[in-house]
């Protein structure tokens, strides 16, 4: 059984179809890359999947359960969590407290939550930052904090929205390694990223969106050799 099925999902904002009739499914343990030009509807699709917006049409099925109409908090409790493209640190809380907020969805004990949080901070190599205020972190660490906080909710499916956006190559490499480590733990991931090299390296399959529609789907090799993709998206950079 696929862990996630997107069935004919559309999302309209007034007259604009930010997603139209998007379908694909994901198997347990895989990394699905989600690419497309700016404004293609990638973040909107995350919003529809995680309950931030109800899809205008279509269905989202997670672990066999229909998710339409569920609120983000419920979605998180059921095991699906996303990070934010425009990072959302809880600025006046410390780094470890930020991650604890994530962990607290699984426990009522602060002590347990703190242990869980420190564990996730180790995963993203930020233990030394535990007591810093989240609002004062540089962008690279804010992105990693997003990941640690999401991981602390102990998801079955992790949705990463441009966690490499705005990072330098060294930081991006660190994130790539992090995503692969998370995969090795058996966690399923959907990753939005603009950096083609990175997405090729980490993805098992890739879905390409343009103007809200699914252009194609396939393995990284299939996608980069697809003429439509080259025309529509890769054209500029790979020509």
Partner 1 sequence: MNKRMLKAAIGLIVLAGLLVVPRFVESPYALHMMILLFLSVSQGQSWNILGGYAGQYSVGHAAYFGVGAYTTMMLMYSKQVAPWVGVWAGVAAVIAVALVIGSICFRLRGPYFVLASIAVAEIMRLSAINLTTLTNGAEGILVTEIPAFKIGERVVTDFLTKVPFYYIGLFLALLTLAIAYWVQHSKLGYYFQAIREDQDAAHSLGIHISVYKNIGLVISAVLTSLAGSFYGIYVGFVDPPTVLGLDVSVQIMLICIIGGMGTIWGPVLGSLLLVPLSEALRSNMITEGLVKIGLVSADSKVGLFLKENLAHAHVLIYGILVVLVILFMPDGLMGFVKKLASRRKREAA
Ligand X SMILES: Nc1ncnc2c1ncn2[C@@H]1O[C@H](COP(=O)(O)OP(=O)(O)OP(=O)(O)O)[C@@H](O)[C@H]1O
Give the residue with the Cβ less far from ligand X, 104 or 150.
150
Please state, in angstroms and rounded to a whole number, the distance separating the CA atoms of residues 228 and 210.
11
- Enumerate binding residues for ligand X (CB under 6 A): 13, 16, 18, 36, 38-44, 85
Q: Are 149 and 99 in contact (CB under 8 A)?
A: yes
Q: Enumerate residues 6+ apart whose C-beta is below 8 A from 69.
A: 51, 54
Residue 92: name its binding partner from partner 1, ligand X, Mg ion, none (Cβ under 5 to 8 Å by kind). partner 1
Give 198-232 as a 3 state SS string.
Answer: HHHHHCCEEEEEECCEEEEEECHHHHHCCHHHHHH
Binding mask 51-80 for partner 1 (x = CB under 8 A): -x------------------xxxx-xx---
7-16 residues labelled b (16+ CB within 10 A) or e (exposed): bebbbeeeee
Give the residue with the Cβ less far from ligand X, 44 or 153.
44
Please state, in angstroms and rounded to a whole number, the distance separating the CA atoms of residues 68 and 164.
29
CB of 141 to ligand X, least distance (A): 21
E strands in the chain: 4-13, 16-26, 31-35, 57-62, 65-66, 80-82, 157-161, 188-192, 205-210, 213-218
Range in contact with partner 1 (rule: CB under 8 A) among 149-157, 168-176, 190-198, 213-221 = 149-157
Range in contact with Mg ion (rule: CB under 5 A) among 82-90, 151-159, 167-175, 226-234 = 82-90
Residue 39: name its binding partner from ligand X, partner 1, Mg ion, none (Cβ under 5 to 8 Å by kind). ligand X
Residue 93: name its binding partner from ligand X, Mg ion, partner 1, none (Cβ under 5 to 8 Å by kind). partner 1
Residue 217: name its binding partner from partner 1, Mg ion, ligand X, none (Cβ under 5 to 8 Å by kind). none
CB of 117 to partner 1, least distance (A): 11
CB of 238 to ligand X, least distance (A): 18
Q: Are 10 and 19 in contact (CB under 8 A)?
A: yes
Of 19, 85, 120, 172, the one binding Mg ion by CB under 5 A: 85
β 213-218/205-210 pair status: antiparallel
Binding mask 83-112 for partner 1 (x = CB under 8 A): -x---xxxxxx---x--xxx-xx--x-x--
Q: Please identify which residue in the block is written with the tokens 């950079």.
A: 237
Question: Where on the chain is the footprint of Mg ion (CB under 5 A)?
Answer: 42-43, 85
Question: Where on the chain is the footprint of partner 1 (CB under 8 A)?
Answer: 50, 52, 71-74, 76-77, 81-82, 84, 88-93, 97, 100-102, 104-105, 108, 110, 113, 149-150, 153
């Amino acid at each position: 059984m696929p862990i996630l099925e997107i069935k004919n999902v559309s999302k309209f904002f007034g007259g604009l179809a930010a997603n139209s009739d998007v379908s694909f499914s994901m198997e347990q343990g895989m990394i699905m890359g989600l690419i497309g030009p700016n404004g293609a509807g990638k973040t909107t699709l995350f919003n529809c999947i995680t309950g931030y917006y109800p899809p205008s049409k279509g269905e989202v099925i997670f672990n066999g359960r229909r998710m339409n109409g569920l609120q983000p908090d419920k979605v998180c409790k059921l095991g699906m969590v996303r990070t934010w493209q425009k990072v959302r640190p809880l600025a006046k809380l410390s780094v470890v407290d930020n991650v604890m907020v994530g962990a607290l969805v699984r426990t009522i004990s602060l002590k347990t939550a703190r242990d869980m949080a420190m564990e996730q901070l180790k995963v993203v190599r930020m233990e030394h930052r535990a007591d810093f205020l989240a609002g004062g972190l540089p962008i690279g660490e804010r992105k990693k904090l997003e990941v640690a906080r999401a991981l602390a909710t102990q998801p079955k499916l992790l949705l990463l929205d441009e966690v490499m956006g705005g990072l330098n190559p060294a930081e991006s490499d660190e994130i790539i390694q992090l995503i692969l480590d998370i995969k090795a733990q058996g966690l399923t991931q959907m990753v939005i990223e603009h950096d083609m090299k990175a997405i090729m390296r980490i993805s098992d399959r890739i879905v390409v969106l343009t103007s809200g529609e699914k252009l194609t789907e396939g393995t990284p090799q299939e996608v980069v050799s697809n003429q439509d993709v080259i025309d529509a998206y890769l054209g500029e950079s790979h020509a």
